[in-house]
Structure formats: C-alpha cells, structure tokens
Amino acid sequence: MVKYGPAYSPQDASSVAIVNSQAPTTIPSTSENIQNPPGTVVSSAMTSGGEGKRSGGKDEPKQPFTFRENMGSETVELIVGKDKAKFLVHKKLLCDKIPYFDKMFNGGFEEARSKIATFSEDRAQSMDLLLGWVYHGSIRKIQGTNNNGVREIPSWSFVDMYSLAHKLCLRDVQDEVMDAYLTYSFEGESMPSFETWTSAYDKVLSPSPLRTLMVYFGRLALSFNAGEFATAFDVPSILELLFDNSDFGVDFLNLIRYGGAVEDPRVMPRCDFNCHGKDEPCYLTKKGPCT
Ligand SMILES: [Zn+2]
C-alpha cells in the first residue's frame, strides 16, 4: 500500500484559491432568513445565553448536545460553479466538520466578515454532496443512468467530488467517494472512460489514490484482447492518451513494468485505494484498515 501523506498536509488548505472578488461587502437582503434559518429555534432565553455553551453546574449530569447547540444560529453562504448556485449552511456545523471552513469563516479573511465564499471552479453538484455529508454523515450512492440505451452515466461525477474533497483536505471523504465509485463500477461492470482518466490527472495534480486507480484501470483495459472493453479501449486511443498526458504515461508504464500481474481494481481490497496508511484507521471501521 502506498501512503500519500505529503500530498494531504494541512498546508494544502492555504493553497486553495478562494475566488471572492465579487463577494458583497454587506450581508445580502436575505439576512433576515440567514439570521433565523428554517429549523432554528430562537427564543429570548436562547439568545441571551452564550451560544454553544453547555448548561448546568458541575454536579449536573452531562446532557447530549441539542440540535441548536450542534447547528448554531448563524449561517453562511457558499456560491458555487458557473451558475453561482447558492447554498445556505449552518456556520457552526460547517466549521466543526471541515477545518478549512473554520479557518475561512472564523479567521481574518474577508469571508469571515461577509459570511460569503465563492467556489467558481467547483461544481454545485459536488458541493451539494459535500454538504449532504456535513449534515447527514455520508455520501449518497452513485446511481447509473441510461443514455438512450447506449451508455450508462453515473448520477454524479466522482472525479469532481474527489477533487473538491482533496482540496479541502478531507481524507475520509475522499475515501468514501472512492468506495462509492468502486461499488458503482463493480455493480455495473463498468470502467471509467478515457475522459475520466484525463480528468482525474487534470484535477488532482499530486500523486493520489485517484491517479493510481486510473492507472490500474488503464492496465486492465489494455489486457483485454477481445470484446466490448477491447473495442472501447483500443490501442491507438491508449497510445494517443499516453502522448497527450505524460504524467499518466509515466505512471502507466511504471505499473506495467513494476506492478506484477494485472489486477482488477474493482475487486481489489478497497483500502488499496484509500488515503490512509496500512496501519491507520479506515473511515469505515474507525479501528484499523478495512479490506
Ligand atoms: Zn480503508
């Protein structure tokens, strides 16, 4: 198992470009809704106390956190993608779950004052999935959709989602996204397309399990000498890809030379494509590597 520690250091968070040139300097007209979002209970008793503090003296038994204590009463806006999709999110929950946002909204950045952050390079679909994880604790399954009977299309782009999790240094989310894709690929007996191989290398620049997965699929694709996959992944097209993407080409040839027998990544141990090291906890078990 290859450990990808250096690529996921916390310093990566600071390298993420937060495009905020168009961020309003004041809270927009929805501020009333922002202060009191649906699901937030506001009362004089609540607003007079310190937010998030536990009640009771030292002799009182500890009570579980209430909904309001978990969520807080403050929200922030995330503006995502070309179409500027807007997500209104509970700030406390978001910052508790994702350190990147904690730095952004509780630090000295403009976003902390405006309560608005823009992610123009990411897809609204990926942010939607990420916020589903923030609120519900898991990434929803990838469904296959039929494109006029010709080709099955995944219901969400796992490369885009993986890329977003990678930028935010969320290794457990990366692993969950990876497992979701491998499950989808195994159940549908499908393989990622040439476009997906290229996209993975373009969006995650450093060595990562995502790149490794694409190279394993590349080697598997080359091993077919008849049938549907041999047609879909013909030698001239693979050769063209090697010329166009030298990073992929080097990894691909190194795997062929040093990687031993051809393996199908869809049936390999899932942890082989997770971010955690061999002896580090897996997000699935929280105890030790899953297999
Ligand atoms: Zn694992």
The structural domains of the chain, with segments of one domain joined by +, span 71-121
Torsions phi, psi for 183 (to 5 deg): -65, -45
Can you give the C-alpha Rg of the chain in angstroms?
22
User: Would you state the pLDDT for residue 279?
Assistant: 82
- In angstroms, what is the span from residue 174 Cα to ligand 1's centroid? 11
- In angstroms, what is the span from residue 281 Cα to ligand 1's centroid? 7
Whole-angstrom distance, CA of residue 180 vs CA of residue 182? 6
Which of these, 262, 290, 263, 257, lies nearest to 276 by C-alpha position? Answer: 290
H or E segment to which residue 86 belongs? strand 85-90
pTM exceeds 0.85, yes or no? no
User: Would you state the pLDDT for residue 149?
Assistant: 55
- In angstroms, what is the span from residue 277 Cα to ligand 1's centroid? 9
- In angstroms, what is the span from residue 278 Cα to ligand 1's centroid? 9
- In angstroms, what is the span from residue 250 Cα to ligand 1's centroid? 26
- In angstroms, what is the span from residue 283 Cα to ligand 1's centroid? 6
From residue 221, give the alpha-carbon distance in Å to each of 12, 215, 226, 233, 262: 33, 10, 11, 6, 10
Characterize 67-96 residue by residue with b for buried, 16 or more Cβ atoms within 10 angstroms of its Cβ, and e for exposed: ebbebbbbbbbbbbbeeebebebbbbbbbb
Torsion over CA of 202, 141, 288 and 267, rounded to 10 degrees? -70
Neighbouring C-beta atoms of residue 105, cutoff 10 Å: 22
- In angstroms, what is the span from residue 196 Cα to ligand 1's centroid? 23
User: Would you state the pLDDT for residue 64?
Assistant: 67
- In angstroms, what is the span from residue 38 Cα to ligand 1's centroid? 36
pLDDT by 10s per residue, the chain, length 291: 433 333 333 333 333 333 333 333 333 333 333 333 333 333 333 333 344 445 555 667 777 678 888 888 899 999 999 999 999 999 999 999 999 999 999 998 999 999 999 999 999 999 999 999 999 999 999 988 766 655 678 899 999 999 999 999 999 999 999 999 999 999 888 899 999 999 999 999 888 999 999 999 999 999 999 988 899 999 999 999 999 999 999 999 999 999 999 999 999 999 999 998 888 888 887 655 555
- In angstroms, what is the span from residue 129 Cα to ligand 1's centroid? 20
Whole-angstrom distance, CA of residue 285 vs CA of residue 140? 18
- In angstroms, what is the span from residue 229 Cα to ligand 1's centroid? 28
Which of these, 258, 288, 290, lies nearest to 273 by C-alpha position? Answer: 290
- HSE, CB side, 13 Å, CA atoms: give it for residue 245: 23
User: Would you state the pLDDT for residue 58?
Assistant: 63
- In angstroms, what is the span from residue 172 Cα to ligand 1's centroid? 9
